[in-house]
Structure 1
Amino acid sequence: MEVITRDFFLFLSKSNLLNKMAQSWGSRVAAGKIIGGNDFNSSIPTIRQLNHQGLSVTVDHLGEFVNSSEVAKERTEECIRTIETIADQQLNSQVSLKMTSLGLDIDLDLVYQNMTKILQTAEKHKIMVTIDMEDETRCQKTLDIFKDFRSRYEYVSTVLQAYLYRTEQDIDELDSLKPFLRLVKGAYKESEKVAYPEKADVDANYKKIIRKQLLNGHYTAIASHDDKMIEFTKQLASEHNITKDMFEFQMLYGMRSQTQQSLVKEGYNMRVYLPYGNDWYGYFMRRLAERPSNIAFAFKGMTKK
């Protein structure tokens, strides 16, 4: 049943018609509930509120698979303005972005030009930029880009997905760079040739990579709504004397807000992933596909006053 539910939401995520309809509903249905707002400035009050509650933030301008160099450059400038605004407004926030939004599917040189501009700004203001991971076909290119920039810049991190067979080896190969990694289960539909098809195997691998990254001594973000993964991380940290300043939990805005607050009260670092923009539909469907219980969390978040 879980596989059927996952495939259903992944199928819906690819509907151009539903995406266009969702864009027109954005400000009415999603803003302030599962996204921060239609643009970054409209998201600032939400960021301040989250910061006031003891929550850190990472923001993401929604939109991927850009097929125009002009649009990729626009996304780059938007990211630069966001970093500068975060610094100017003294917000406790980082930035997340996808390589396809900077032109990965167009030209590799274009991506390097755009990312260099972003990271130069990030280094200046000491604001972390996380390179989000996309589907498996873009995984190696994304990691190659990250490795190159990580060798030259401090304020850059990336994401690894537990459902891919390759991920444990990727952690080993990244170890010398002392990377800050966000570890997730994964939210794209992948072939059984490259990804674990069974949830139990994904969960087991997720625990394995959490353990490996934390025991390697590198700062780690455990991005999960799964109580079992949260408790596993807490227990692992306790058993190996890993201090709370060496990792953080991450959850989506609008989901499991009470759990987020509980983790803050327990003294853990808790970061909220706050997307913004009109292109929210595909993102939302993939989040529902990740874990069936997200459906209940999302419904509660979208219907709250």
Structure 2
Amino acid sequence: MEAVTRNFFLCLSKNNWLNQVARKRGSGIVTGKIIAGIDFPNSVQIIKELNRKGLSTTVDHLGEFVHSKETAIDRTKEAIETIETIAREKLDSHISVKMTSLGLDIDRDLVIRNMTSILDTAEKHGVMVTIDMEDEPRCEQTLELFKQLRESYSCVSTVLQAYLYRTEQDLKKLSVLKPFLRLVKGAYKEPATVAYPDKKDVDDNYKKLIRQSLEYGLYTAVATHDDEMIGYTKELAEKLKIPNDQFEFQMLYGMRSKTQMELVEQGYKMRVYVPYGRDWYGYFMRRLAERPANISFAFKGLVKK
């Protein structure tokens, strides 16, 4: 049943007609519920409120698979402006970017130029930029770009997905760079040739990756809503004597807000992934596909006052 639910929401995420309808008519419904605003200036007050509660954030301008150079450059300028706003407003926030939004499917040199512009600004202001991971066909390119950029910048991080067979080896190779890593289960529909098809195998691999990342001495972001994974991370950190400043938990804006505050009160670093922009529909459907419990969390977030 879980596989059917996952495939259903992944299928919906790729429906162009529904994406267009959601973009034109649905932003007002979800603003302040699962996205912070239609643009970054309209999201600042929500981020400030999260910061006042002791929650850090990472912000993401929704949208991917850009196919024009001009749009990729516009996305780059928007990311730079977001970093400058974070610095000016003294927000406790990182920024997340997708390589496809910056021209990955157009030209590798274009992505490098765009990321260099973003990271020059980020380095100046001390704002971490996380390169989000996308679908498996783009995984190798994304990691190669990350490794190249990491040679020149300390303020760049990336994401590894537990459902891919390759990830354990990717983690081992990246560990020499001592990066900030976000670990996730994975949200794209992938064939069994490259990804674990069974939830139990994904969960087991996720636990393995959390342990290995911490044992490598990497700053590790455990991005999950899963109580089992949260409990595992806490117990593991205590067992291995890992200090709280070597890892953090990450969750999505609008989901499990009570649990987020409980983690803060327990002394853990808690970072909220805060998306903004009109292209929220595909993002939202993939979050629902990740885990059935997210459907309940999302519904509660949408109906709360």
Question: Normalised by the shorter chain, which TM-score bucket?
Answer: over 0.9
Aligned to 1:67: 67
Structure 1 residue 119, shift from structure 2 partner: 0.3
1:58 is aligned to 2:55: no
Superposition map of 1:82-121 within 5 A? 82-121=82-121
The C-alpha deviation readout for 1:27-54, integer Å capped at 9, x for no partner, is: 3211100000000000001000100000
1:299 is aligned to 2:299: yes
Superposition map of 1:23-172 within 5 A? 23-172=23-172
Aligned to 2:261: 261
Amino acid at match of 1:135: D
Structure 1 residue 241, shift from structure 2 partner: 0.5
Question: Is the Cα contact below 8 Å between 1:26 and 1:38 reproduced in 2?
Answer: no
Deviates more, 1:69-78 or 1:15-24: 15-24
1:211 is aligned to 2:226: no
Look up the SS of the partner of 2:27 in the other structure.
Answer: helix
The C-alpha deviation readout for 1:230-272, integer Å capped at 9, x for no partner, is: 0000000000100000000000000000000000000000000
Find the aligned partners of 1:151 and 1:207 in 2 and give their Cα distance: 29
Look up the SS of the partner of 1:7 in the other structure.
Answer: helix
Find the aligned partners of 2:28 and 2:84 in 1 and give their Cα distance: 28
Amino acid at match of 2:143: L
Superposition map of 1:229-248 within 5 A? 229-248=229-248
- Superposed CA RMSD: 0.5
Aligned to 1:20: 20
Structure 1 residue 113, shift from structure 2 partner: 0.4
Look up the SS of the partner of 1:152 in the other structure.
Answer: coil
Instruction: Provide the TM-score with structure 1 as the length reference.
Output: 1.00
The C-alpha deviation readout for 1:54-84, integer Å capped at 9, x for no partner, is: 0000000000000000000000000000000
Structure 1 residue 21, shift from structure 2 partner: 0.8
Amino acid at match of 2:62: L
Structure 1 residue 151, shift from structure 2 partner: 1.2
Find the aligned partners of 2:222 and 2:40 in 1 and give their Cα distance: 25
Amino acid at match of 2:138: R
Look up the SS of the partner of 2:58 in the other structure.
Answer: strand
Aligned to 2:183: 183
Find the aligned partners of 2:295 and 2:29 in 1 and give their Cα distance: 15
Find the aligned partners of 2:211 and 2:26 in 1 and give their Cα distance: 39
The C-alpha deviation readout for 1:84-121, integer Å capped at 9, x for no partner, is: 00000000000001000000000000000000000000
Find the aligned partners of 1:103 and 1:19 in 2 and give their Cα distance: 21
Find the aligned partners of 1:112 and 1:27 in 2 and give their Cα distance: 32
The C-alpha deviation readout for 1:4-40, integer Å capped at 9, x for no partner, is: 0000000000000100111123332111000000000
Question: Is the Cα contact below 8 Å between 1:96 and 1:130 reproduced in 2?
Answer: yes
Find the aligned partners of 2:49 and 2:41 in 1 and give their Cα distance: 14
Aligned to 2:250: 250
Aligned to 1:9: 9
Look up the SS of the partner of 1:106 in the other structure.
Answer: coil
Amino acid at match of 1:242: I
Amino acid at match of 1:150: R
Find the aligned partners of 1:32 and 1:25 in 2 and give their Cα distance: 15
Aligned to 2:287: 287
Amino acid at match of 2:61: H
Percent of residue pairs identical: 67
The alignment covers a number of residue pairs equal to 305
Instruction: Provide the TM-score with structure 2 as the length reference.
Output: 1.00
Look up the SS of the partner of 2:22 in the other structure.
Answer: helix
The C-alpha deviation readout for 1:187-237, integer Å capped at 9, x for no partner, is: 000010000000000000000000000111110000000000000000000
Look up the SS of the partner of 2:248 in the other structure.
Answer: strand
Look up the SS of the partner of 1:73 in the other structure.
Answer: helix
5+ residue gaps in structure 2?
none
Runs (4+) off by over 3 Å: none
Look up the SS of the partner of 1:175 in the other structure.
Answer: helix
Amino acid at match of 1:263: L
Amino acid at match of 1:13: S
